[in-house]
Amino acid sequence: MNDGQTLPDQASGHPHGRGLRNLRFPLGQQGTLSFLSKYQTAESRAGIAPFPGFEYTAEMMFSRVLAWTALSFAALSPAGLAQSRDRIAAGFQDITAAKLRADLFFLSSDAMEGRMSLERGDDVAVQWIISEYAKAGLRPLVGDSYLQPVPLIEYTMDRARTVLTLRTRGTTHEFRNPDLTGNYPNDGSWTGRVVFAGFGITAPELRYDDYAGIDAKGKIVLIFSHEPQEDDPDSIFNGKGNTRYANARAKMMIAQRHGAAAVLIMPDPNHKPGNQRGGLDAGGRGTQTLRTPRPIQAIDGEDSIPVFNVTAKVGEELLAAAGGKGVDLQTSIDKTLKSGSLVLGDAEVEVRAATAQRKRGVSFNVAGMIEGSDPGLRAETVLFSAHHDHDGTRIDGEIYRGADDDGSGTVGIVSLARAYAKNTIKPKRSLVLVVFAAEERGLLGGYYYAAHPLRPLGSTTAQINFDMIGRDEKDSNQTHGLIDIAPDTSNEVNIIGTRYSPDYRSAVVRSNELVGLHLNYKWDDDTVLNVLFRSDQYPMLLHDIPAIWWFTGFHPDYHQITDTAEKIDYAKMEKIVRLAYVTGFDFGDTATPPKFFPAGAPK
């Protein structure tokens, strides 16, 4: 999972009777879990109860549910029920805690050297994923290769030579770090008149446009951070939560579509002070000073425009050129949801970006496919994803092993590949399993895939993204006081983003009848930790795909050398991967794929 510090500021028919959607039990509202207890009671009455002290495993419960259901309905449709059982059982039972543990102890071992993007350990991880895909028999998607090259630039900024020059009312002012911050991989200079464009959002589905009434072509655009009405629970912008438009990259893409030359982001003045996330947990006295400075990476050759952050002082000086004040402009927008955009008088800005070091490299998205069984539906895609990179090593040589982040997601995807491959009967739609590159450097593999999809995005019906699926959620510096965490999260998984697709949520709930996890949707109301933007489902969400992140939550070992394989809850992880397996079958077979609501589903 991306730590939020390295997100780039620049653009760096008819019912199908065989599907899980139709594998229903005559249980009323209580569902399969209630049925299990009834079934076990019935077994006892029949004198076939297990011996004292015996406990059902999830695998045994699953098998017995199917067997009991088939017995109950044998007179009605024995062939159909047997087919449904055979459709999913082999793969379901292939997903085990023992296999997940063996894979993760290898992937997060010292031999992987922390899996830093563009370094040797991450290359080894890529080769391991390739070998597992090949052994499972997945179909390559890049010719005869599983590798989609992701061209990257690694660079450092020259802060002294990165300058904003403001000319207004006959005066000239220069601003550097810390008044001007941000990263851009290309040296250059961008000059233009300045326009203010509110929060920098154009959202037709919300009938909101900050660019209404102004021409941004060739201009330097000044915008507020965040979104309008962020403290209004009834806001069209997801109440007090985030929408997909609150992210700087989304705002850059919108500005670019309007023809802007560059973007400057200033703090929104009405943002409540103190409503900010904490830093990473220290992991021991003095260890923060041992963190190796993280390399800045970007997609090489990506079509983008510069995005820089400016302080409130710089932003107010720009607004003053048109007699405006930030607090008044934001208050008006929050009240009316009307564009407050304006040309900032005679203000002209030149932004010069300079890098100190640059080198090119290539990482890889690893992609394989299980081809769909239905000739009419196999052109459609269900996407599964995780990321293989992490944070490398510390200055003192200690390793950021990244067992949970995102070794857990990576071995989860590999486990799904094996499970679907082992199943004789395949889902009707094709399944694409991708482990992305350079997520920790700013979701770069995910953004590259979204721009260069191996299967058309228009026929991609859903995405299941694994990122950190192996631990229990615990209080940490990053989340303290900002999110409610249950006392016991040992059977819980967070499902993030289903406000954009209630159908997706319903499918997961339905599939969960066979697994029994507690599903939590609390992160859809987050606005401080910006979780919606911090993993590889987000690039697909920007393309109107029901792209959802599966996440067991933060803990004090997040991005620490203590994120190790022995701390993973493998029984819980088995349940999560099995749930994804069953849900994937639902997505693959359903007559009606999950619908996407660009504005978010009505509450």
Q: Which DSSP state fits 95?
A: -
- Burial letters for 533-551: b for 16+ Cβ neighbours within 10 Å, e otherwise? bbbbbbbbbbebbbbbbbb
Question: What is the radius of gyration, based on Cα positions, of the chain?
Answer: 25
370: three-class secondary structure by DSSP: strand
| Nearest partner of 194 among 222, 162, 174, 168, judged by Cα | 222
For residue 141, what are the contacts with CB-CB under 8 A and spacing of at least 6?
148, 367, 368, 369, 432, 454, 455
At position 273, the amino acid (one-letter code) is P
Look at residue 19 in the predicted model and tell me its pLDDT.
33
Backbone angles phi, psi at 127, to 5 degrees: -65, -35
C-alpha to C-alpha distance for 103 and 112, rounded to whole angstroms: 13
**Which of 3.30.360.10, 3.40.190.10, 3.40.630.10, 3.40.50.1110 would CATH assign to domain 91-152+360-589?**
3.40.630.10
pLDDT at 536: 98
pLDDT of residue 58: 44
Pairing of strands 460-466, 547-551: parallel
Fold adopted by 159-353: Glucose Oxidase; domain 1 (3.50.30)
| Per-block mean pLDDT, blocks of 10 residues, the chain (603 long) | 63 32 30 32 32 39 42 34 67 98 98 97 98 98 98 97 96 96 96 98 97 97 96 93 95 98 97 69 59 89 97 97 95 95 96 96 98 98 98 95 97 98 96 98 98 98 98 92 93 98 97 96 92 97 98 96 98 98 96 96 77
What is the pLDDT at residue 287?
A: 59
Q: How far apart are CA 125 and CA 598, in angstroms?
A: 36
pLDDT at 329: 97
- Angle at which helices 409-422 and 570-589 pack, to 10 degrees? 50
**DSSP codes, 468-511:** S-SS-----TTTTTTS---S--TTEEEEE-GGG-HHHHHHHHHH
Give the domain ranges of the chain: 91-152+360-589, 159-353
User: Do 360 and 232 contact (CB within 8 A), yes or no?
Assistant: no
Give the pLDDT score at 237: 95
Residue 46, pLDDT score: 32
Q: What is the pLDDT of residues 268-288, one digit of tens each?
A: 999 887 666 666 665 544 456
For residue 6, what pLDDT is reported? 62
DSSP-derived secondary structure letter, 270: T
